[in-house]
Amino acid sequence: MIKLTYCLRRKPGMTWEEFSNYWRDVHAPLVRERAPVLGIKRYVQVRTQQNPELHARLQARNDGSPVPFDGIAELWYDPAERGAGGEAARAAARELLEDERNFIDLANSPIWYGEEWEVVGPK
């Protein structure tokens, strides 16, 4: 399996609650509907806990690291199925990107494909 990891920052002017609600209640159902054609095997949303004091301590621990992301989206794919959806998959991907423009600061939200290397977990 390969995994797409997307570190999200909300659009400027949007509250964290507005961002979180939109991501969960509007965007997630769109991803769920399009998952089969896109070959998505698993989709997880990780929301940053709203604890400014803890985040300040974690940033200080890391010598003043950047402000945390608002959330992380994780999507798993079978590499053997990549590209199998053809034009339908490209259309679905365009639709999701268009919706992302409603709540994500795209220019400040890194995205990449990677491979998981489990270090601790079930045997």
Q: Which residue has the higher pLDDT, 49 or 26?
A: 26
Diameter of the chain by CA atoms? 47
* 27-36, 41-50, 98-107, 114-123: least confident range: 114-123
**Which residue bears the tokens 């949007």?**
14
* Residue 74: both structure tokens together: 């994780």
The arithmetic mean of pLDDT across residues 83-94, rounded, is 87
Give this prediction's pTM.
0.84
